Structure 1
Amino acid sequence: MISHRSWSDAQILWDHHLMHHDPRPCSVAIGLGSHDLGVADAAVSLYRRGMMPLIVFTGATSRTTRARMPRGEAVHYRERALELGVPASAVLVEPRARNTGENIRFSRALLEETGAGVSSVLLISKPYEERRAHATARKLWPGVSFVSASEPITFEEYLASIQDDRMVIDMLVGTLQRLLIYPAQGFMAADPVPGEVAAAYERLRRAGFTSRLMAGETGADG
């Protein structure tokens, strides 16, 4: 049973992870791989609104997605986008990335190989990965402006769509940990965490939402 305190703390982390950017037209969109097809759906919605002429879906598989997306996250995202009417010529696939840093680095390399001119990027992720993706991209791809986007969905709606409350809260906690420690390790730009958010994170850790934490709070980008 998840306590009322933990639910409240999870909502605090959810709200912090959102960047609250207004989508605007960009050179390209990058859809970061995950267990959530909502990323692909958000990319399609933005494409239909004319926000970008090209989408890069990036991602291999992980322990979370191996069973759900056996052909790889980026491949499943592309299939979803084509099913929803996006032309194949508007979708590129980067199938190797296994973490957020690789999502950015490999997508950048792919776009440079294709000769696409990129001055701005719509970063499309799960809602609770917006801030992490933005801070990572700012570190790894200077000179480009980034706009964060995700499926427009509330915390409660997202939990209902995933149907694994504990996994989602564990993810919120793991992502916040990376915001705290990765800047010092050179993986992302500094993005200060308010005291209220840090306190909620610590309470959730103590409550046992730890499956996505890195042991010893050190390690490579995951």
Structure 2
Amino acid sequence: MTSNITTSEMISDEIRGQALLIWDYHQVRHQVQPCDAAIGLGSHDLGVADTAIDLYQAGMFPVLVFSGGNSPTTRAVFPRGEAVHFRERAIERGMPEAVVLLEPKAGNTGQNITYSRRVLAEAGITPATVMLISKPYMERRSYATARKAWPEAEVVCTSEPLEFDAYLKSIGDARLVLDMLVGDLQRIIDYPKQGYAIEQHVPEEVLDAYEALINAGYDSRLITS
């Protein structure tokens, strides 16, 4: 039996259940509250930009940095760079140019945090509270990375408020999303040992789902040594 999700690849109910366990784990579900600044983490998903714009318009922060260069999953979609396209989207939707800062060089999450912090400092901003806006399945890794790279700041993580099935439909590529779910979890497990993030407990059922998806071939985003 397969799910009724319309994507470029149908997934079985078993695979969907395993993916949903990992999806739920990745979301830290922080209470959204006003912050001194925000960082929109570049990706293939324009929903990150739209969520950041919505939160600015709701008065959640006064200044926003869009951060990100390019990666294999974004180069074709955002040829001028993730942050550049995200910023253009924000200005098209009415955000003042002066409050949308640009960090166009970051190639990973640690750089997103570190380089954006530098951009804010150069603008004379030293925030005590920072909102990180990411893809839904990147909340936990964003949090773990920020706690390591910017321990002085209080971090609030959030993302586009979509449930798993709705997100799959919005992206239109189940394989890409499941590969990314698995890849992000590998980084949550491995990066603390390399000094890139703080440790995060991973429940046994989430680890079992992770191994099952790898065995099912959802492994293109794994880092191999």
Question: TM > 0.5 between the two?
Answer: yes
2:80 corresponds to 1:71: yes
TM-score (normalised: structure 1): 0.96
2:61 corresponds to 1:85: no
Pairing partner for 1:48 from 57, 62, 68? 57
Q: Tell me which amino acid in the other structure corresponds to 1:56.
A: V
Pairing partner for 2:219 from 194, 200, 210? 210
Pairing partner for 1:27 from 8, 15, 36? 36
SS at match of 2:125: coil
Q: Tell me which amino acid in the other structure corresponds to 1:180.
A: I
Query: What percentage of aligned pairs have identical amino acids?
Result: 56
Task: Tell me by how many angstroms 1:2 deviates.
Answer: 2.7
2:62 corresponds to 1:61: no
2:115 corresponds to 1:110: no
Aligned to 2:5: none
Aligned length: 216
2:47 corresponds to 1:38: yes
Pairing partner for 1:95 from 80, 96, 104? 104
Aligned to 1:195: 204
Q: Tell me which amino acid in the other structure corresponds to 2:69.
A: A
SS at match of 2:140: helix
Aligned to 2:170: 161
Q: Deviations over 1:14-62 (max 9, x none)?
A: 1010011111000100000000010011101110111100000000011
2:182 corresponds to 1:173: yes
Q: Tell me which amino acid in the other structure corresponds to 1:199.
A: D
TM-score (normalised: structure 2): 0.94
How many angstroms apart in 1 are the aligned matches of 2:81 and 2:154?
28
TM-align CA RMSD = 0.8
What are the ranges of 5 or more consecutive residues in structure 2 without an aligned counterpart?
1-9
Aligned to 1:219: none
Q: Tell me which amino acid in the other structure corresponds to 2:220.
A: S
SS at match of 1:215: coil
Q: Tell me which amino acid in the other structure corresponds to 2:202.
A: V
Q: Tell me which amino acid in the other structure corresponds to 1:53.
A: P
How many angstroms apart in 2 are the aligned matches of 1:86 and 1:115?
20
Aligned to 1:183: 192
Pairing partner for 2:25 from 16, 26, 49? 16
What are the ranges of 5 or more consecutive residues in structure 1 without an aligned counterpart?
217-222
Task: Tell me by how many angstroms 1:193 deviates.
Answer: 0.6
